[in-house]
Amino acid sequence: MKSRWSHWASVVLPVAAAAVVFVAAWKAIVLIANYPDWFLPAPEVVAQRFAQAWLDGTMWRHASATLVEIGLGFVVGAGLAVAVGYLLARSRLAERLLSPYLVAAQATPILVLAPLFVVWLGTGLAAKVVICALIVFFPVAVATMVGIRSVDARLLELGRSLRASHWQVVRHLELPAALPQILGGMRIGVTLAVIGAIVGEWAGADRGLGVLINLARGSLFDFPLMFATLATIAGIAVLLYLVVVLVERALVGAWR
Amino acid sequence: MFRRFMVVLGMVIGLAAVGCGPGAPTTAPLTRLTVGLGFTPSVQFAQFYRAQQQGYYRAAGLDVTFQNEIDPNLITLLGQGAVDIGMADGTSVIPAVGQGIPIRYAATIYARFPSIVMVAADSGIASAVDLRGRKVGIPGQYGSSWIMLQALLASGGLSPSDLTLQPFPEYGQEIALQQGLVDAATGFRNNEPVKLALQGFPTTILDIDQITPLPGPGLTVGEATLASKRDAVRAFVAATLRAMTEISADPEAGLDDAIAVVPELGSDRTTQLAILEATIDMWRSPYTDAHGLGAIDGGAWAESLDFMRGLPESNIPASLTADQLVTSEVLP
């Protein structure tokens, strides 16, 4: 009982304490500088607007669209990245052929690419999924490549000596061994997917949290709503990150 | 002898010290003004460039610096006092003041609402009613073009749900219209239709000037600036209106001043001159013809306020009045 309490305290208390300090500092800045709501709304004003936007359905209408984009973009991007990352790890030729393009794609600002995808694919879901997938791809592919390359050669030797097929080696030796690195890349990728969805919405959409930010900022001058939307975006990113962490714990534990 | 020398020397030093010798320039300190224009430097801001190039601002005791900002940023910077005067959309001023941002619209620059819907001249679309069921390119469901579109559709008994909307946030709707990807597109009367016409793609324009007199972009000032630099703002408005009058009479001169500030505009004088001439047309309306350039039509503002308050996503408080949005105190 005591150990469970101490575990809970060691995990939850620092998080709660950091949140309290953050909100208190925010409130203090607003109070000391006497900022109006249109410059920096106080936390309780944002909280009130946050609750109102969720209760009247405004936030969900936009958040649901963004979640679909993130989900599909992450699955497509991470799935391709694992396959390509494996290829890069096991084929020097593939690495030499693909690496320059992968690095170039990563270095090109997604803000510049996003409008092009909208022109090519239209303003529907496809462009957002591609933008999300593109931004997710690189960290997951690199993590996969590093993970696969770091698999102990003796382990692979053991597999071969037991006459394991190539697929058996991949499935039972390489992927489980590389899983911590792959999921580490996915932790980064899933937060980037959130950015990809918002950028995609800015490039052309009529629904989504990126659209709601534009509405709040550019049409309504409703800064509490803009901050409430930012809080929702941050919340989604944290939640998805925790999901990947939980999956990581479950999978890595199960496969070891 | 020595006393006479000392008297003359004293006079020379005295004159030099006060700087009032024959032909000496005035040394009165200039009032600094930061002026926010649209997102990118453009020939549409020729009146400001002319007043700067011809020294009208300096002669009025002003040291003017231009800054390019998108409208939402500009509105908040004006409210903070970080920018003194800005070319802000009237349709942004209304919700901004409604949300407590302390700014006032102080002089009309666009007496007609520049945001329009354009269609291919041979499309058969002649009025708002004809837009039913059509695909319309828009930058997004926000800003002045979105408000204009709703006003236009309402005049034909339509709403945005009667159309298929195609967002183009990077203002690609002009190309989309040309390529036939959309049936109609929002744009600015003094920009896209002018360029399309020069490219041999004539358009028909649907505007809302006769439907809902929405306030176009104009000189907007923060309340604090208005209180602390009232005379400087008044002098700025007068110098700008002088430049507008001159450019109206001689657009080529306005283009030359714009090119002096933004040399890139000189690469295509024909297009830039056409845009400037279309812009000059937007500075005048029957109201400004009767009351002078820059005049603010309070009745039109009241109508616009009522219209915008009735929009579905409106957050404009019922207590807001047109008097809280505009001021005529810095007009000549």
Domain boundaries defined on chain A: 1-34, 38-255
Query: What residues does each domain of chain B span?
Result: 31-112+215-324, 115-206
Least confident of A64-68, A125-129, B134-138, B209-213: B209-213
Q: Reduced to 3 states, what is the DSSP secondary structure of residue B126?
A: coil
- Select from A220, A223, A225 the residue whose CB has the most chain B CBs within 10 Å, as the one to mutate to test that interface: A220
Supply the pLDDT for residue B91.
93
Select from B75, B168, B169 the Cβ nearest to the Cβ of A221: B75
Residue identified by tokens 């989900």 is A71
Please say whether the beta carbons of A136 and A75 come within 8 A.
no
Q: Averaged over B136-161, what is the pLDDT?
A: 89
Contact between chains at A218 and B100 (C-beta distance less than 8 A): no
CA-nearest residue of chain B to A218? B72
Structure tokens at A229: 């939307």
Residues of B in contact with A204 (CB under 8 A): 140, 167-170
B82 CB neighbour count, 10 Å cutoff: 16
- DSSP symbols for chain A: -HHHHHHHHHHHHHHHHHHHHHHHHHHHHHHHHT--TTTS--HHHHHHHHHHHHHTTHHHHHHHHHHHHHHHHHHHHHHHHHHHHHHHHH-HHHHHHHHHHHHHHHHS-HHHHHHHHHHHH-SSHHHHHHHHHHHHHHHHHHHHHHHHHTS-HHHHHHHHHTT--HHHHIIIIIHHHHHHHHHHHHHHHHHHHHHHHHHHHHTS-SSSHHHHHHIIIIIS--HHHHHHHHHHHHHHHHHHHHHHHHHHHHHHHHH-
- A-chain residues near B72 (CB < 8 A): 217-218, 221
**A127 min Cα distance to partner chain B (Å):** 13
The rounded distance, in Å, linking the Cα atoms of B137 and B117 is 9
Q: Do B72 and A221 touch (CB under 8 A)?
A: yes
What residues of chain B, 32 to 51, have a C-beta less than 8 Å from chain A?
none
Q: Give residue A169's pLDDT.
A: 86
Cross-chain Cβ contact A38/B92 below 8 Å: no
Contacts of A37 in chain B (CB under 8 A): 99-100
For residue B99, give the nearest of A251, A45, A120, A142 by alpha carbon.
A45
What does the alpha-carbon distance between residue B60 and residue B56 come to, in Å, rounded to a whole number?
6
| Architecture of the B115-206 domain | 3-Layer(aba) Sandwich (3.40)
| CATH number of the domain located at residue range(s) B31-112+215-324 in this protein | 3.40.190.10
Contact B154/A at CB under 8 A: no
Chain A nearest-CA distance from B248, in A, is 32
CB–CB contact A39 B76 (8 Å): yes
Q: What confidence score (pLDDT) does residue B229 get?
A: 96
- Residue A7: pLDDT band (50, 70, 90) is confident
pLDDT for residue A109: 86
**What's the mean pLDDT in B43-63?**
96
Contact A206, B165 (CB under 8 A): yes
Give the pLDDT band of residue B15 (cuts 50, 70, 90): very low
pLDDT > 80? residue A204: no
Contacts of residue A177, defined as CB under 8 A and 6 or more positions apart, other chains included, come to: A147, A150, A151, A152, A155
Report yes or no: B320 at the A interface, CB cutoff 8 Å.
Answer: no
Question: Number of C-alpha atoms within 13 angstroms, CB side, residue A12?
Answer: 6
Q: Is the CB of residue B142 less than 8 Å away from at least one CB of chain A?
A: yes
Q: Which residue of B148, B220, B315 is the best one to mutate when testing the A interface, meaning the one whose CB has the most A CBs within 10 A?
A: B315
Q: Which residue has the higher pLDDT, B43 or B40?
A: B43
Closest Cα in chain B to A111? B170
**For A219, which of B79, B142, B168 is closest by C-beta distance?**
B142
Q: What is the mean pLDDT of chain B?
A: 89
Q: What is the pLDDT of residue B13?
A: 46
Q: What is the mean pLDDT of chain A?
A: 89
Mean pLDDT of all residues in B313-331: 93
A-B CB pairs within 8 A amount to 70
Task: Look up residue B329 and give its DSSP letter.
Answer: T
Query: Are B142 and A215 inside 8 Å of each other by CB?
Result: yes
Residue for token pair 């469901």: B141
CA-to-CA distance for B196 and B217, rounded, in angstroms? Answer: 23
Residue B7 has pLDDT above 50, yes or no: no
Q: Which residues, including other chains, have CB under 8 Å from residue A38's CB and lie 6 or more apart?
A: A221, A223, B76, B79, B96, B99, B100, B101
To the nearest whole angstrom, how far is the Cα of B170 from the nearest Cα of chain A? Answer: 7
Euclidean distance between CA atoms A143 and A145, whole angstroms: 5
Task: Provide mean pLDDT across the span A176-197.
Answer: 93
Q: Which of A92-96, B30-34, B164-168, B192-196 has the lowest mean pLDDT?
A: B164-168
Question: Can you spell out the DSSP letters for B26-68?
Answer: P-PPPEEEEEEE-SS--GGGHHHHHHHHTTHHHHTTEEEEEEE
Give contacts of A123 with chain B, Cβ < 8 Å. 166-168
Structure tokens at B143: 């800003």
Amino acid A1: pLDDT = 53
Structure tokens at A246: 């939980």
- State the ipTM, two decimals: 0.70
- In percent, how much of chain B has pLDDT > 90? 74
Token code pair at residue B320: 């807001």
3-state helix, strand, coil in chain B (%, to 5): 50, 15, 35
**Per-residue model confidence (pLDDT) at position A163:** 82
Q: For residue B135, give how far its alpha carbon lies from the nearest alpha carbon of chain A (Å).
A: 13
**DSSP-based three-state secondary structure for B136:** strand
CB-nearest partner of A218 from B98, B142, B166? B142
| The pLDDT value given to residue B9 | 47
Whole-number pLDDT of residue B23: 36
Predicted local confidence at residue B5, as pLDDT: 46
Q: Which residues, other chains included, contact B78 with Cβ-Cβ below 8 Å and sequence gap of 6+?
A: B36, B84, B85, B86, B88, B101, B103, B220, B221, B222, B225
Q: Is the minimum CB–CB distance between B165 and chain A shorter than 8 Å?
A: yes
Residue B120, φ and ψ in degrees, nearest 5 = -60, 140
Task: Give me A190's structure tokens.
Answer: 């899933």
Q: What is the mean pLDDT of residues B123-146?
A: 90
pLDDT digits (tens, 9 = 90+) for B160-180: 989 988 887 666 788 889 888
Q: How far is B53 from chain A (nearest CA, A)?
A: 32
Please, are residues B203 and B108 in contact by the beta-carbon 8 Å criterion?
A: no
Q: How confident is the model at residue B4 (pLDDT cuts 50, 70, 90)?
A: low
Q: What is the pLDDT of residue B18?
A: 40
Q: Which residues pair with B117 in a beta bridge?
A: B186, B206
Q: Report the distance separating Cα B174 and Cα A87, nearest Å.
A: 43
| Nearest Cβ partner for B167 among A36, A204, A220 | A204
Of A38, A115, A206, the CB nearest to B165: A206
Mutate one of B91, B94, B141, B309 to test the A interface: name it (highest A CB count within 10 A): B141
- Cα distance from A205 to chain B (closest Cα, Å)? 6
Which pLDDT tens digit goes with each residue over B298-316? Answer: 999 999 999 999 888 788 9
Which region among A209-218, B163-172, B264-273 has the lowest average model confidence (pLDDT)?
A: B163-172
For an interface test with A, the pick among B76, B92, B142, B177 (most A C-beta atoms closer than 10 Å) comes out as: B142
Q: Minimal Cα distance from B145: which residue of A? A: A219
For the entire predicted model, the pTM comes to 0.79
Q: Which band of pLDDT confidence, cut at 50, 70 and 90, is reported for residue B28? A: confident
Its CATH architecture, for the domain A38-255, is Orthogonal Bundle (1.10)
Q: Which residue of A has its CA nearest to B91?
A: A219
Query: Do residues B268 and B259 lie in contact, with contact meaning Cβ atoms separated by under 8 Å?
Result: no
